[in-house]
Amino acid sequence: MMSPVLNVSAYRFVPLDALERRRQALHESAAAAGLKGTVLLAEEGINLVLAGEPGGVRAFLDELRADPPFTGLPVKESWSDVLPFQRLKVKVKREIIRMNMPAIRPGLARAPSVAPATLARWLATGRDDAGRPVVTLDTRNAFEVDAGAFEGAVDWRLHRFSDFPQALAAHREELQDKTVVSYCTGGIRCEKAALLMQAMGLDHSYQLEGGILKYFEETEGAPHWRGGCFVFDEREQLASDLAPTP
């Protein structure tokens, strides 16, 4: 039997204006639908994690997608027995994911991505389709990595995502001449990470399309994932079938 609460996460890097007007409208729409969670808006785009009764969630998403910057916004779904959020927050921020690198603008140019099925195939042999060695690079915080990660992933023990540029500069030579696939929970951090890697001369760098959650959805994590996936809500951790861990 399907759990009664629909959880959705989504983001899009797209230039936005009228942020306060959008914030008020989205808060009213989400509140009217009975949703809980967080929506972040910035000039660079939108980032959201919301949960509620399925009809309310889908009605909110339909209204959101009617706004041209969010047309066709892809959403990752999972289910739970209870609401994993206590309240609704809709905020305007400087960045929807903080990196402190204003020159990195995914809304203007996107780094190449690799589909979950393709990454799984590469990991099975350890090489990409051109024969280059493949490594996965975890862009999440250390405590998130500790909950679960790709087997053998590069982990720089980041305290926060804004530490990533400095860590990349220190370790860039170790990644040279390899195919590097950066990954994170839902893909938002990788959007910036992969662009920065390319800007620093790592030509064979990619982002995992849709992040860990999409990888779970399309491959169920097997056989290259170890552990669960930390999420920033009361579920705390999801298994590879996208269900909360016991």
Strands (DSSP E) found in the chain: 5-13, 36-42, 45-52, 76-80, 88-92, 113-114, 134-138, 148-150, 154-155, 179-183, 205-208, 225-227, 229-230, 237-238
The answer as to whether 100 is a domain residue is no
Cβ neighbors of 25 (< 8 A, separation 6 or more) are none
The answer as to whether 246 is a domain residue is no
pLDDT band at residue 160 under the 50/70/90 scheme: very high
Domain identity same for 164 and 232: yes
Domain-terminating residue out of 92, 122, 154:
92
| Residue-wise pLDDT tens digits, 170-204 | 999 999 999 999 999 999 999 999 999 999 999 99
Is 119's pLDDT higher than 60? Answer: yes
Is 80's pLDDT higher than 60? Answer: yes
- The per-residue pLDDT for 202 is 96
The whole-number average pLDDT for the span 117-138 is 97
Is 216's pLDDT higher than 70? Answer: yes
Domain-terminating residue out of 37, 63, 92:
92
Which residue range forms the structural domain that includes residue 166?
A: 113-238
Domain identity same for 47 and 142: no
Domain identity same for 69 and 165: no
The answer as to whether 107 is a domain residue is no
Domain identity same for 83 and 121: no
Phi, psi (rounded to 5 degrees) for 236: 70, -45
- Predicted model pTM: 0.91
The answer as to whether 19 is a domain residue is yes
| Residue-wise pLDDT tens digits, 5-20 | 999 999 999 999 999 9
Strand 76-80 with 5-13, pairing: antiparallel
Q: Find out whether 142 and 158 touch, Cβ atoms under 8 Å.
A: yes
pLDDT band at residue 221 under the 50/70/90 scheme: confident
pLDDT band at residue 1 under the 50/70/90 scheme: low
What mean pLDDT is reported for the chain?
96
pLDDT band at residue 222 under the 50/70/90 scheme: confident
Domain identity same for 155 and 188: yes
- The per-residue pLDDT for 246 is 78
- Of the chain, the percentage scoring pLDDT greater than 90 comes to 95
CATH number of the domain residue 75 falls in? 3.30.70.100
d(CA 95, CA 19): 12
Domain-terminating residue out of 59, 92, 125:
92
Is 146's pLDDT higher than 70? Answer: yes
Domain identity same for 185 and 71: no
- The per-residue pLDDT for 2 is 60
How many folded domains does the chain comprise?
Answer: 2
The whole-number average pLDDT for the span 216-226 is 91
Is 90's pLDDT higher than 90? Answer: yes
The whole-number average pLDDT for the span 53-67 is 97
Could you give the residue numbers annotated as active site?
Answer: 184
The answer as to whether 99 is a domain residue is no
